[in-house]
Amino acid sequence: MQPLFYNKAVLLNKEQHGNLYLEPSGKFKFTKENNSVYIAAIEFIKAARDYAIVFGKSPDGSIFPTVLMGLQNNQNAYLGKKGEWLVEYIPAYVRRYPFILATNAGASDTFAVCIDESYSGFNRQQKGERLFNEDGTESEMLKRSIEFLKEYQTHIQVTDAFCKNLQDSGIVEPMQAKIVMDGKEQAFSGFFCVNREHLKGLDPKKMAELMISDHMELIFAHLYSLNNLERLVKKPRA
């Protein structure tokens, strides 16, 4: 199964992609049909200004943070008609495209760089910047992209630890929000959030642990961000 946004993710190698160029468009039309996207813990503070941060659940039962970009399926309300992003902060998951790290088979702690070959910005007409230099070494642009991927992967691991801590604390529950759309009240479900009362009921030792680990700051950012649900309701819908 291809990751979100990626239609043809393949391993990057200099033999196959040695003469490939990347011409960034500055547009994000590839996100048009997505109403949520993964977000790392380090992004919570900035993202909370513009998005509602909630939690999804993986098939294995673990939770992961995501920002809501629309209340309808296949709708990104943060995307302009020309493919521009409509708020200042753009999630790192979006910014890393069309590059991505993939786990090497049989070695979950090592990764390989992949690209989405279907991305329209890739070309062999020398438009934009080369991925590889004439001598086969990585171009400066590619080096920057790979460093971004490595740093992002580290943040994913930190985020996983944060989410596990939330679940172990027993303070996460299914969302019970009610929203009014087109004059009708509708139940909003399918995501999870921190229960304030359960948070208040934690024992002092666990509360101190959350404070020391800076996880409490992330929890408050998540709770604060839920105010953006009302903002999202008011955004134009397809």
- Mean pLDDT score across all residues of the chain: 91
End-to-end C-alpha distance for the chain, whole angstroms:
27
Q: In the chain, pLDDT over 70 holds for what percent of residues?
A: 92
pTM over 0.85: yes
pLDDT digits (tens, 9 = 90+) for 143-179: 999 999 999 999 999 999 999 999 999 999 998 777 7
pLDDT at 234 over 80: no
pLDDT digits (tens, 9 = 90+) for 22-66: 998 889 999 999 999 999 999 999 999 999 999 999 999 999 999
Q: What is the reported pLDDT for 186? A: 67
What average pLDDT does range 187-216 have in this prediction? 92
Q: What is the reported pLDDT for 74? A: 85
Q: What is the reported pLDDT for 104? A: 67
Residue 232 near residue 71 (C-beta atoms within 8 A): yes
Sequence-ordered strand ranges (E) for 41-171 = 52-57, 63-68, 99-104, 107-116, 122-123, 129-130
Confidence of residue 107 (pLDDT cuts 50, 70, 90): low
Q: What is the reported pLDDT for 181? A: 66
Q: What is the reported pLDDT for 24? A: 85
